[in-house]
């Protein structure tokens, strides 16, 4: 039978609002269809949830587990600084480019089907990452991983929102949030263990190969347990828009990142500058789609709403600070201080625990502070970054002080991320909530890629010639590089605070 249900962004608990909320990728989506064979028991919904949250766990795990493996990847594949950055950027950029179209594929062909296809792609890409013999091959496999994540992730939240309603929906989203929160510390510690103890002589490759048995199990259980859903309204793909955006990102990031390794030749400057024209073409193309009544992957016309423009800009800047800081810190801990991946993972763990704590406390904080809660989160994150800079410049070997800075860092993230999405959605009518949430998700991933590119260049430029460092001076030089690079993070975070201040203090769209 087919059951239509209506759901809006307001039905979600605020703390569980997520950038993955792509189930209503079309701004005018009016309903969601549940395709279910007669006689399906209620427990099948919970079986479906078990597989779906496993997908969240796998993709979140892979996002964080790479951090602790970067130094070993550099050593094993003789990767350049640009290669390490591209290992991180490739995943985020691919995810951001294909996210909205993949959400629509689920609307068109069934979310269970797309979840299984995405899981298959992600599993194959993980195996490719695990057997990579060169940095170039690993980067290409990471692009495929990003596409796999873009295929499966939008289907998860969409399916959960269809299968659960009333009192069961908050419970389902709570389970999802807990799993997502636990994935980060498990990734840091588990990844560190896998790399440090070098099981079967595979070393860093295990952080990718671990996804293969998990992915295969998800395919088997998902085909049996997940209940199929799809949208009862047509959804068109914006393929040309995705191609233009991907091309713009390619000519922006690759020459910029590779330029440092080649002494900044002319093409490393000219090509990134020419990407401005490509982004302009993308904006014009997306606006033309809207005028023709079609649905773009990024509705540029919505940014005439100045509050939304400020909000998504704030999200872009905030996420530009998060992933890029973890790149710098990973390099300091392993290459600069000589910590094993396991010890480095343990040092990262307080960030995740503080994140979970802040997410749990956010309803109480919001009741007390209202819109200022978002600014409090950004302020806590800024304090954490500031403390990290001071430690890096003065006493880079002090693990306790680094851990203290990471507690502020994680708490700020846990408070800011869900509140930022909720604040952005509050600026638009219900009919545009899906497009707005997709826009926020895209800006998150592209912001992360942008931040890694900028911070990586600053960090490695400050190091100059790391091979010339003695064992005694490595910690100082890597600490100085982290402090210098994190100045970008401080600037981006401060600018994001100004954007969020505008977002939360304006009562009407300008």
Q: Which residues contact 295 (CB under 8 A, 6 or more apart)?
A: 25, 26, 27, 28, 104, 235, 236, 238, 289, 435
10 Å CB burial of residue 127 (0-12, 13-18, 19+) is middle
Selection from 217, 16, 25, 195 nearest residue 108 by Cα: 25
| Predicted TM-score (pTM) of this structure | 0.82
- Choose the weakest-confidence range: 11-20, 38-47, 284-293, 340-349: 11-20
- Choose the weakest-confidence range: 42-46, 306-310, 353-357, 465-469: 465-469
DSSP 94-139: HHHHHHHHHHHHHHHH-HHHHHHHHHHHHHHHHHHHHT--SHHHHH
| Helices and strands, counts by H and E, the chain | 16, 3
Q: What is the mean pLDDT of the chain?
A: 82
DSSP 227: P
Q: Select the more confidently predicted residue: 107 or 503.
A: 503
Domains of the chain, first to last: 1-235 (1.20.1250.20), 298-510 (1.20.1250.20)
DSSP 200: G
* pLDDT tens column, 8-51: 333 333 333 333 333 333 333 333 445 543 344 556 788 888 99
Sign of the four-CA dihedral 120, 121, 126, 131:
positive
Residue 268 has pLDDT above 70, yes or no: yes
- Runs of H (alpha helix) within 198-259: 206-209, 211-225, 239-259
Residue pair 321/332 in contact (Cβ under 8 Å)? The answer is: no
pLDDT of the residue at 205: 92
pLDDT of the residue at 190: 81
Provide φ and ψ at 3, rounded to 5°: -120, 130
* pLDDT tens column, 118-171: 999 999 999 999 999 999 999 999 999 999 999 998 888 778 878 887 777 777
Classify 312 as helix, strand or coil: helix
- Choose the weakest-confidence range: 319-333, 352-366, 429-443, 474-488: 429-443
């Amino acid at each position: 039978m087919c059951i239509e249900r209506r759901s809006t962004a307001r039905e979600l608990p605020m703390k569980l609002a997520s950038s993955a909320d792509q189930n209503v990728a079309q701004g005018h989506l009016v309903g969601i269809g549940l395709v279910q064979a007669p006689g399906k028991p209620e427990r099948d919904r919970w079986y479906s949830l078990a597989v779906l949250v496993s997908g969240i766990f796998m993709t979140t795990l892979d996002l964080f587990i790479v951090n602790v493996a970067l130094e070993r990847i550099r050593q094993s594949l003789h990767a350049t600084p640009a290669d390490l950055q591209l290992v991180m950027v490739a995943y985020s950029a691919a995810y951001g480019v294909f996210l909205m179209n993949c959400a629509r594929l689920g609307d068109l062909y069934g979310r269970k089907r797309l979840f299984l296809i995405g899981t298959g792609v992600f599993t194959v890409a993980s195996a490719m990452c695990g057997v990579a013999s060169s940095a170039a091959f690993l980067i290409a496999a990471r692009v495929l991983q990003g596409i796999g994540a873009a295929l499966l992730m939008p289907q998860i939240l969409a399916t959960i929102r269809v299968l659960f309603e009333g009192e069961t929906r908050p419970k389902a989203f709570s389970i999802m949030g807990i799993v997502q929160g636990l994935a980060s510390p498990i990734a840091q510690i588990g990844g560190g263990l896998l790399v440090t103890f070098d099981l079967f002589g595979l070393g860093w490759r295990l952080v990718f190969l671990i996804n293969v048995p998990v992915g295969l199990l998800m395919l088997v259980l998902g085909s049996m347990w997940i209940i199929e859903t799809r949208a009862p309204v047509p959804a068109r793909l914006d393929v040309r828009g995705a191609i233009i955006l991907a091309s713009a990102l390619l000519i922006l990031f690759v020459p910029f990142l590779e330029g440092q390794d080649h002494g900044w030749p002319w093409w490393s400057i000219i090509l990134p500058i020419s990407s401005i024209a490509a982004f302009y073409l993308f904006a014009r193309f997306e606006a033309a789609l809207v005028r023709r009544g079609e649905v773009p992957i990024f509705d540029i016309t919505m940014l005439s709403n100045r509050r939304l423009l400020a909000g998504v800009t704030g999200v872009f800047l905030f996420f530009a600070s998060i992933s890029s800081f973890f790149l710098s810190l990973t390099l300091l801990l392993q290459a600069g201080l000589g910590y094993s991946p396991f010890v480095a993972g343990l040092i990262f763990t307080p960030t995740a625990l503080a994140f979970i704590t802040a997410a749990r406390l956010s309803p109480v904080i919001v009741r007390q502070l209202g819109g200022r809660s978002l600014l409090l989160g950004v302020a806590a994150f800024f304090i954490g970054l500031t403390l990290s800079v001071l430690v890096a410049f003065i006493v880079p070997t002090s693990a306790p002080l680094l851990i203290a800075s990471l507690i502020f860092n994680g708490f700020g993230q846990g408070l800011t991320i869900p509140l930022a999405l909720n604040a952005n959605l509050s600026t638009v009518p219900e009919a545009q909530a899906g497009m707005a949430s997709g826009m926020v998700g895209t800006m998150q991933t592209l912001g992360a890629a942008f931040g890694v590119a900028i911070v990586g260049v600053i960090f490695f430029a400050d190091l100059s010639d790391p091979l010339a460092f003695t064992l005694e001076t490595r910690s100082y030089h890597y600490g100085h590089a982290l402090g210098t690079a994190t100045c970008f993070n401080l600037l981006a975070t401060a600018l994001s605070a100004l954007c969020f201040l505008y977002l939360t203090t304006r009562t009407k769209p300008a």
